């Protein structure tokens, strides 16, 4: 294992070329953030993560968590690292300044999040969930709730959770049955069982702010009857000090394939009469509050794919130089060569590297679109909101699916050693496998893309976006021979994407099942093509910086190679997925369930 090093140069280059920092800085909301500030923050953040979080990753995986009736014990190394995180004030990076945050844009934040995930993916979930709670309370909390809870979340002194899932209510949140009974004092008594609650209980912070979806007594069935409540682990006295333990218990934690240092809790509310809960917003608006933070939460999960891929890439890159096997083809030496000389090993490295860069660019671009949607008014803001909405399911699903493949490729480069836990790369692979599942499974993301996002503005949003991607063509043509195959392969991929889009819009209108049958393949096309477009932009940016006289020749030229490798190898696969989109639902329903059984 080599130590993780935060790829700050790659991050800043991505931010400059596709993060729209110039436009962000021009807005009132982000006027305090310029490239220099962003650079120094990311450098600091990266150093913190590589020095403080990074060294705790293996021990968190190996030692894991200890549950007892009193709570969940997190390994001391992680608790100490988290304390330093709080001390440094990093939790508030993208929180509003009014409540103690630094007010940085999401485009910068996701790059920091990537560093944190690379350093310790399991531990990163705690600040990650807190960020979600912050965003939710910023938007929906009362002034009092903001003063009491939000400020403590922004400092990181208290951590946050999201309580959606119940045993019978997973993807289908509307089936939730947790009860919230109103009391004369304006509070509610919450009772029910929530599962899969990440960091639902732990001993790293003095209090935990649970955000809980529950149903008031006369609420209508389904999602419309769901309200959102703050249920603190410890009640807060008037002077802000911690009071009584609330009626919520962690009754068990799950034994998972990965993210061993992230407690996945079963929380039981109301065993002793009901946990005290405080309504956030109005009754029946719980799902709306969830939707507020859905975009950033989903982008953040996509970033898990990026972060785990990046650190796995760093390990594989080093191992490929250290491990010697076989001779170089056409080489002079009779000694065993570092395996990086072999074509298939290089192919794997370039696959990993180019996809890390494409995923990172997608996450940053998506986050920047979200920032601009918030920072700009009127039509301009609306255009960016549309793009952010369109891309969010793609960022979440594509980056997490690719994250599984890239971390798997790291194992393959390690060979037998990769399968052995001590090598460390197996952990990235195990940790990565949850991301396609939570925060809406990738199947749900594909349904969201096809069922909600394509119909936006009667298809106008997706059509505009594809047209925007096509506009890079002229710049590619002008950039010369190095860009020829990028240009032709990108154009062909966009043709295929356009054809698939047309097929889905036409056939989905007649029968949604026809469109949904190909939704996952469509999302894969979308991600692969958009990744290629963003890499092309990075390559063009590099080309232009070179032309402008930058002396970072190696760095910039490597961006052109990444984009070309990806274009030559992966953009042609976009058209290969068209068959799956156009196959429709016929084959899927040709057999009844019994007919699908093995026999």
Report the candidate in 106, 292, 113, 155 with the shortest Cα–Cα distance to residue 211.
Answer: 292
Report the candidate in 382, 375, 397 with the shortest Cα–Cα distance to residue 299.
Answer: 397
399 binds a copy of itself (CB under 8 A): no
Closer residue to a copy of itself in complex, CB, 221/243: 221
Rounded to whole angstroms, how far apart are CA atoms 595 and 559?
Answer: 50
Binding to a copy of itself (CB under 8 A): which residues in 35-94?
none
471 binds a copy of itself (CB under 8 A): no
Rounded to whole angstroms, how far apart are CA atoms 360 and 345?
Answer: 23
Applying CB under 8 A, the span of 254-262, 283-291, 293-301, 470-478 interacting with a copy of itself comes to 254-262
Binding to a copy of itself (CB under 8 A): which residues in 327-346?
329-330, 336, 338, 340, 342-346
> What is the DSSP-derived secondary structure letter of residue 597?
S
Closer residue to a copy of itself in complex, CB, 53/140: 53
Contact 564, 486 (CB under 8 A): yes
Burial class (CB in 10 A: 0-12, 13-18, 19+), 58: middle
CB 536, min distance to a copy of itself, A: 15
Report the candidate in 459, 453, 578, 458 with the shortest Cα–Cα distance to residue 522.
Answer: 578
564 binds a copy of itself (CB under 8 A): yes
Helix axes 484-510, 519-547, angle to 10 degrees: 150
255 binds a copy of itself (CB under 8 A): yes
512 binds a copy of itself (CB under 8 A): yes
Binding to a copy of itself (CB under 8 A): which residues in 484-503?
489
326 binds a copy of itself (CB under 8 A): yes
Closer residue to a copy of itself in complex, CB, 94/264: 264
Report the candidate in 56, 42, 165, 16 with the shortest Cα–Cα distance to residue 112.
Answer: 42
Is 439 assigned a catalytic role?
A: yes
Which residue in 39, 78, 349, 376 binds a copy of itself (CB under 8 A)?
349
Which residue in 1, 98, 420, 478 binds a copy of itself (CB under 8 A)?
420
Which residue in 268, 317, 374, 505 binds a copy of itself (CB under 8 A)?
317
Applying CB under 8 A, the span of 132-140, 167-175, 207-215, 294-302 interacting with a copy of itself comes to 167-175
Applying CB under 8 A, the span of 32-40, 236-244, 265-273, 427-435 interacting with a copy of itself comes to 427-435
146 binds a copy of itself (CB under 8 A): no
CB 598, min distance to a copy of itself, A: 4
Options 106, 439, 514, 545, the catalytic residue = 439
Rounded to whole angstroms, how far apart are CA atoms 517 and 477?
Answer: 37
Kindly give, in sequence order, each residue whose CB lies less than 8 Å from that of residue 286, ignoring residues fewer than 6 positions away: 213, 214, 223, 226, 227, 228, 280
Which residue in 446, 476, 490, 494 binds a copy of itself (CB under 8 A)?
446
Kindly give, in sequence order, each residue whose CB lies less than 8 Å from that of residue 437, ignoring residues fewer than 6 positions away: none
β-partners of residue 473 are none
Closer residue to a copy of itself in complex, CB, 232/307: 307
CB 61, min distance to a copy of itself, A: 11
448 binds a copy of itself (CB under 8 A): no
Which residue in 2, 177, 183, 325 binds a copy of itself (CB under 8 A)?
325
Contact 298, 392 (CB under 8 A): yes
> What is the DSSP-derived secondary structure letter of residue 437?
T
Handedness of CA 519, 525, 531, 534 (dihedral sign): negative
| 3-state class (DSSP) for residue 193 | strand
Kindly give, in sequence order, each residue whose CB lies less than 8 Å from that of residue 399, ignoring residues fewer than 6 positions away: 302, 303, 304, 305, 306, 359, 362, 363, 527
Applying CB under 8 A, the span of 23-31, 388-396, 463-471, 556-564 interacting with a copy of itself comes to 556-564
595 binds a copy of itself (CB under 8 A): yes
For residue 519, the Cα-to-chain-centroid distance in whole angstroms is 20
CB 225, min distance to a copy of itself, A: 14
> For a copy of itself, what does the binding mask look like between residues 226 and 245, x meaning CB under 8 A?
--------------------
Which residue in 3, 97, 147, 172 binds a copy of itself (CB under 8 A)?
172
Contact 41, 587 (CB under 8 A): no
434 binds a copy of itself (CB under 8 A): yes
177 binds a copy of itself (CB under 8 A): no
Residues contacting a copy of itself: total by CB under 8 A? 112
Q: Which residues are catalytic?
A: 439
């Amino acid at each position: 294992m080599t130590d993780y090093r935060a790829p700050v140069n790659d991050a800043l280059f991505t931010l400059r070329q596709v993060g729209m920092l110039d436009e962000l800085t021009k807005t009132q909301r982000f006027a305090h953030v310029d490239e220099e500030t962003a650079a120094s923050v990311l450098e600091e953040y990266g150093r913190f993560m590589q020095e403080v979080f990074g060294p705790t990753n293996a021990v968190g995986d190996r030692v894991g968590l200890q549950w007892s009736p009193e709570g969940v014990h997190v390994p001391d190394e992680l608790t100490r690292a988290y304390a330093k995180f709080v001390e440094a004030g990093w939790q508030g990076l993208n929180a509003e300044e009014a409540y103690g945050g630094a007010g940085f844009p999401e485009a910068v934040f996701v790059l920091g999040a990537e560093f944190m995930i690379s350093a310790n993916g399991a531990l990163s979930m705690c600040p990650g969930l807190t960020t979600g709670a912050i965003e939710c309370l910023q938007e929906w909390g009362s002034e009092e709730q903001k003063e009491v809870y939000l400020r403590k979340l922004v400092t990181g002194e208290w951590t946050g959770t999201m309580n959606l899932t119940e045993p019978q209510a997973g993807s289908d949140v509307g089936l939730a049955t947790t009860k919230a009974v109103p009391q004369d004092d304006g509070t509610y008594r919450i009772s029910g069982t929530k599962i899969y609650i990440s960091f639902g209980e732990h001993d790293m912070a003095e209090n935990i702010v649970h955000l809980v979806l529950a149903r008031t007594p006369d609420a209508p069935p389904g999602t419309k009857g769901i309200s959102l409540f703050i249920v603190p682990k410890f009640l807060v006295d008037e002077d802000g000090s911690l009071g009584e333990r609330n009626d919520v218990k962690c009754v068990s934690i799950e034994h998972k394939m990965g993210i061993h240092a992230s407690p996945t809790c079963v929380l039981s509310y109301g065993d002793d009469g009901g946990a005290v809960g405080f309504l956030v917003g109005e009754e029946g608006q719980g799902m709306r509050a969830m939707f507020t933070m859905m975009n950033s939460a989903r982008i953040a999960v996509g970033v898990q794919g990026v972060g785990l891929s990046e650190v796995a890439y760093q390990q594989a890159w080093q191992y490929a130089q250290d491990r010697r096997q076989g001779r170089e083809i056409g080489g002079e030496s009779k000694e065993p060569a570092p395996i990086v000389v072999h074509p298939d090993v290089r192919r794997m490295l370039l696959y990993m590297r180019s996809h890390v860069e494409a995923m990172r660019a997608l996450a940053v671009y998506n986050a920047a679109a979200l920032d601009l949607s918030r920072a700009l008014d009127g039509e301009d803001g609306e255009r960016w909101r549309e793009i952010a909405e369109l891309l969010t399911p793609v960022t979440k699903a594509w980056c997490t699916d690719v994250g599984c493949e890239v971390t798997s490729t790291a194992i393959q480069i390690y060979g037998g050693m990769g399968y052995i836990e001590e090598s460390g790369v197996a952990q990235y692979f195990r940790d990565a496998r949850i991301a396609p599942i939570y925060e809406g499974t990738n199947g749900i993301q594909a349904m969201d893309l096809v069922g909600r996002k394509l119909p936006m503005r009667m298809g106008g949003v997706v059509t505009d976006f594809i047209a925007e991607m096509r506009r890079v063509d002229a710049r590619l043509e002008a950039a010369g021979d190095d860009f020829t195959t990028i240009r032709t392969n990108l154009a062909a991929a966009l043709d295929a994407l356009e054809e698939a889009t047309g097929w889905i819009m036409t056939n989905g209108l007649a029968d949604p099942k026809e469109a949904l049958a190909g939704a996952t393949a469509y999302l894969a096309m979308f991600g692969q093509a958009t990744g290629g477009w963003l890499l092309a932009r990075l390559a063009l940016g590099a080309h232009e910086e070179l032309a402008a006289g930058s002396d970072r020749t190696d760095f910039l030229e490597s961006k052109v190679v990444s984009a070309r490798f990806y274009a030559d190898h992966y953009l042609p696969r976009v058209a290969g997925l068209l068959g799956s989109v156009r196959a429709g639902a016929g084959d899927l329903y040709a057999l009844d369930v019994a007919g699908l059984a093995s026999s």
